[in-house]
Amino acid sequence: MYCSDWGFGLGYFGHWPGLILTLLIIVVIGMLFFRLVGNVAGWTRGRSSINNNYIHSGKISKCPNCKAAIEDAYLCCPECNHKLKKNCPSCGKIVKTSWEVCPYCETNL
């Protein structure tokens, strides 16, 4: 069927907006589908390592008193209750007991 200048005056180009919208909808649905299938099938690109780093973010070391395994986030040893960190008397931020100077306010500990 021949498109004339009647209607919106688009002539032969009246079907392009509908075609572009249809293709855009198909692409968006395809992206959502593959994202959903990828999550279900475990095809996450790099996300598993991010989650593992989040779960295992604490560096494990040993207590100076009893040599039990401790993480850097611990304030005291869960085995012997040895104090691993304290508050700076000047600024109040948490510092390690082995430090001689507070790195935040440069106060001698």
Residue 43: domain span: 11-51
Q: Are 11 and 3 in contact (CB under 8 A)?
A: yes
Q: What mean pLDDT, rounded, does the chain reach?
A: 76
pLDDT bracket for residue 64 (50, 70, 90)? confident
Into how many domains does the chain fold? 2
Residue 55 has pLDDT above 50, yes or no: no
Residues 86-98 have a mean pLDDT of 88
User: Is residue 59 in a domain?
Assistant: no
Residue 6, domain member (yes or no): no
